Amino acid sequence: MIRAAVIGWPVSQSRSPLIHGHWLERFGIDGDYGRLPIVERIGAANTLWMENGELCADNTDGVGFIANLDDRAPDWAKTPDEALVLGAGGAAAAVVDALVERGFMVRIVNRTLSRAEALAARYPNRVSADVLSEANRYARTAGFIVNTTSLGMKGDGAVDLDMSVVPSDAVITDIVYVPLVTPFLAAAAARGLRTVDGLGMLLHQAVPGFTRWFGHRPTVTPELRALVEADL
């Protein structure tokens, strides 16, 4: 049996076992994908595998982030402009990298300025940093805004952003997917802004990992999305 797992803390909320279990059944693979709750994290990697006797690591969040937007809002980056990223954690690192690749100038705002500055320093002249309390100032000119913090997850807090100042043609997304429509997305939708939920990022980021672990490249289908939505 081939075994794989999602690693992190906390990890009980993860629907990754449901996604990979669905594909294992679909391909008829004798495999198992579970949860490994541990406190220590390995950088910003979310995919580990053995190759020629060596432990390899990768981060598929950026791939999943972009694939979700391309799927749910195909023209979201038609005219790359200024993006506002809320948060500076491991997921934010993947998101910022993906946005820079798409041609955006990125502003990171985070509660701890030093962490945002450390992330921004990786991309001189393309990414800048400030404190989270300045989010409303930068939201006025942002064509794309993403919440990468855990605020809003399972009703835990809310993102303090005034949607009334956001440009009417901006695209708003949240990497939190429990609940599917977070307070952040609900506020944006109430303003009439285009929104993309975070579930698709979870689904698409799982594809490269499954391919490496089990040797088959799956696709994200409406059936899979419905399966995971039913479990939220």
Question: 164 and 218: one domain?
Answer: no
Phi, psi of 184 (to 5 degrees): -60, -45
What pLDDT, on a 0 to 100 scale, did the predictor assign at position 14? 92
Task: Grade residue 38 by pLDDT with cuts at 50, 70 and 90.
Answer: low
Question: 78 and 131: one domain?
Answer: yes
Question: 159 and 217: one domain?
Answer: no
Per the prediction, the chain carries an average pLDDT of 92
Residue 23 pLDDT > 60: yes
- Domain span holding position 191: 73-197
Is 51 inside a domain boundary? yes
Residue 42 pLDDT > 70: no
Length of the chain: 232
Question: 158 and 88: one domain?
Answer: yes
Residue 186 pLDDT > 80: yes
Query: What tokens does 84 get?
Result: 């506002």
Q: How many domains does the chain have?
A: 2
For 193-229, how does the pLDDT look when each residue is reduced to its tens digit (9 = 90+)? 999 999 999 999 999 999 999 999 999 999 999 999 9
Most distant pair of Cα atoms in the chain: their distance: 54
For 64-98, how does the pLDDT look when each residue is reduced to its tens digit (9 = 90+)? 999 999 999 999 998 779 999 999 998 999 999 99
Question: 53 and 153: one domain?
Answer: no
Question: 215 and 182: one domain?
Answer: no
Question: 20 and 95: one domain?
Answer: no
Question: 107 and 149: one domain?
Answer: yes
